[in-house]
Amino acid sequence: MKTRWPEAYKVIEKLENAGFEAYVVGGAVRDFIRNVDANDVDVTTNATPNEVKQLFPHTIDVGIEHGTVLVVLNETIEVTTFRSETNYSDYRRPDAVTFVRSLHEDLQRRDFTMNAMALSKSDELIDYFGGREDIENKIIKAVGDPAQRFAEDALRMLRAIRFSAQLSYSLEQETMEAIQSLHHLVAHVSMERVKVELEKIWISDFVGNGMHLFVSSHLADNFPGEWETFRNCWKGFSSFGNTANGWAFFAIMQAPAEVESILSYYKCSNAEKAHVKQVLGALKQLEKGCWSLYNFFQFTEEVLVAAASYAKQLLNMEVIYTEELIQQIKARLPISSTKEIVVNGNDLMDWAKKKRGPWIRDAMEKITVMIVNGKLVNDRTEIMEWFFQEYNVDDLQI
């Protein structure tokens, strides 16, 4: 038992020896009951942040006003003082955080029964709200009155759906009904947080569950994009592997002219937008029949795998390209990047005795395509000969 979270237990032991209470809490306890490894371990205590800081030589302040201190041992453990939260006037942040001395109050402010349990160092489970039973029944249930809890913090509605996608649990009826009637409050959640939750859904094992609930709870009504079409296509589809693919697959459902503005609305980064563009491009080529060698050169393996998987699973296309085949074809290309080409724009200007201009890009592109297709060897003399012929340069200076 004591080896489960050795670093967290060291923290708890030290706090207890100094006369405080301390427990493992939240997601780690949930995952312990589920019998799976937790992502991270949080400790809750009745010691104030300053009291915690005095006990440990190496701590980092991350949110002392919210009661959180990171204790650095071999791992970094988040230690949060028992607290309650009051008056959520903007549906997303408590106006005040009050440190409290009772564990019960701390657990009561947590979102779902499965996340509102604590475990003592001697293995005692503190479960005031039936979290263990809800885990056994695979149910996500708000602690207390769901409508009040979602009105306090609208992010919890998205978290409920995200957990359903991760765990394949269903939403308890009142919890679901509260989301359905308060869905509009999600507009108060910052887009950064919305994005994090959507992306967590996309890399969940049960994406279909998450999408279904996102639409049926009406949360999706508050956001632009063809969510319903997306949901319908996603039925039974498991994780997209990475978050950028989630955006790409979402983008495929949108009217092409709207893709850019929709991605900007969701605060996608330039890298994400570029990935989406590439996947859309690769898919378009695939829909024409098959990929050319140049397509294998031009698109990254990640993009090709994403486009092939999309075409196979969602468009029911017969696609021969497995991940292995894509890797094999890419490995056999004469070059894998334009950087490997042995001539550059300066050489072309020298040879043609012409000034810089768009012609250089065109010529380099031609050279690239020919090399990739095996029609030109990536060798300086060969490229030069081809260039002089192609561009009718008579003053040969080899």
Which residues contact ligand ATP (rule: CB under 6 A)? 26-27, 39-40, 42, 110-111, 115-116, 153, 155-156
- Which of Mg ion, ligand ATP, none lies near 298, with the C-beta cut-off 5 to 8 A by kind? none
Task: For residue 382, give both structure tokens.
Answer: 């060969």
Provide, rounded to whole angstroms, the least separation between the CB of residue 42 and Mg ion. 6
Provide, rounded to whole angstroms, the least separation between the CB of residue 40 and Mg ion. 5
How far is it, in rounded angstroms, from Cα 103 to Cα 40?
20
Choose between 91 and 249: whose C-beta lies nearer to ligand ATP: 91
Choose between 163 and 247: whose C-beta lies nearer to Mg ion: 163
Q: Is 110 annotated as a binding residue?
A: yes
- Which sign does the torsion angle of CA 61, 67, 70, 71 carry? positive
How far is it, in rounded angstroms, from Cα 395 to Cα 239?
59
Q: Is 109 annotated as a binding residue?
A: no
Q: How far is CA 111 from CA 38, 124, 300, in A?
A: 18, 21, 41
Choose between 27 and 345: whose C-beta lies nearer to Mg ion: 27
- Which of Mg ion, ligand ATP, none lies near 49, with the C-beta cut-off 5 to 8 A by kind? none
Choose between 111 and 134: whose C-beta lies nearer to Mg ion: 111
Provide, rounded to whole angstroms, the least separation between the CB of residue 196 and Mg ion. 12
Q: What is the DSSP string of 180-208?
A: HHHGGGGGGS-HHHHHHHHHHHHTSTTHH
- Which of Mg ion, ligand ATP, none lies near 110, with the C-beta cut-off 5 to 8 A by kind? ligand ATP
Q: Is 30 annotated as a binding residue?
A: yes
Choose between 110 and 273: whose C-beta lies nearer to ligand ATP: 110
Question: Which residue's CB atom is positioned nearest to Mg ion?
Answer: 27
Choose between 39 and 74: whose C-beta lies nearer to Mg ion: 39
Count of alpha carbons within 13 angstroms of residue 191, beta-carbon side: 11
> What residues does 81 pair with on adjacent strands?
45
Choose between 27 and 144: whose C-beta lies nearer to Mg ion: 27
Q: Is 159 annotated as a binding residue?
A: yes
Q: Is 27 annotated as a binding residue?
A: yes
Provide, rounded to whole angstroms, the least separation between the CB of residue 179 and ligand ATP. 14
Do 253 and 230 contact (CB within 8 A), yes or no? yes
Provide, rounded to whole angstroms, the least separation between the CB of residue 204 and ligand ATP. 10
Do 71 and 51 contact (CB within 8 A), yes or no? no
- Which of ligand ATP, Mg ion, none lies near 121, with the C-beta cut-off 5 to 8 A by kind? none
41-60 b/e (C-beta count within 10 Å ≥ 16 → b): bbbbbbbbbebbbebbeebe
Provide, rounded to whole angstroms, the least separation between the CB of residue 375 and ligand ATP. 52
CA 394, chain centre distance (Å): 57
How far is it, in rounded angstroms, from Cα 41 to Cα 6?
10
Provide, rounded to whole angstroms, the least separation between the CB of residue 144 and ligand ATP. 11
Binding site for Mg ion (CB under 5 A): 27, 40
- Which of ligand ATP, Mg ion, none lies near 155, with the C-beta cut-off 5 to 8 A by kind? ligand ATP
User: How many CB atoms are located within 10 Å of the residue 387 CB?
Assistant: 19
Beta-strand (E) ranges in the chain? 22-25, 42-45, 59-63, 68-72, 76-81, 83-86, 96-99, 118-119, 125-126, 139-140, 170-171
Pairing, β 68-72 against β 59-63: antiparallel
Do 131 and 113 contact (CB within 8 A), yes or no? yes
User: How many CB atoms are located within 10 Å of the residue 8 CB?
Assistant: 27
Choose between 27 and 241: whose C-beta lies nearer to Mg ion: 27
- Which of Mg ion, ligand ATP, none lies near 275, with the C-beta cut-off 5 to 8 A by kind? none
Do 340 and 361 contact (CB within 8 A), yes or no? no
Question: Which residue's CB atom is positioned nearest to ligand ATP?
Answer: 27
Provide, rounded to whole angstroms, the least separation between the CB of residue 3 and ligand ATP. 21
Annotated binding site: 27, 30, 40, 42, 110, 153, 156, 159, 162
Annotated binding site for Mg(2+): 40, 42
Annotated binding site for ATP: 27, 30, 110, 153, 156, 159, 162
Annotated binding site for CTP: 27, 30, 110, 153, 156, 159, 162
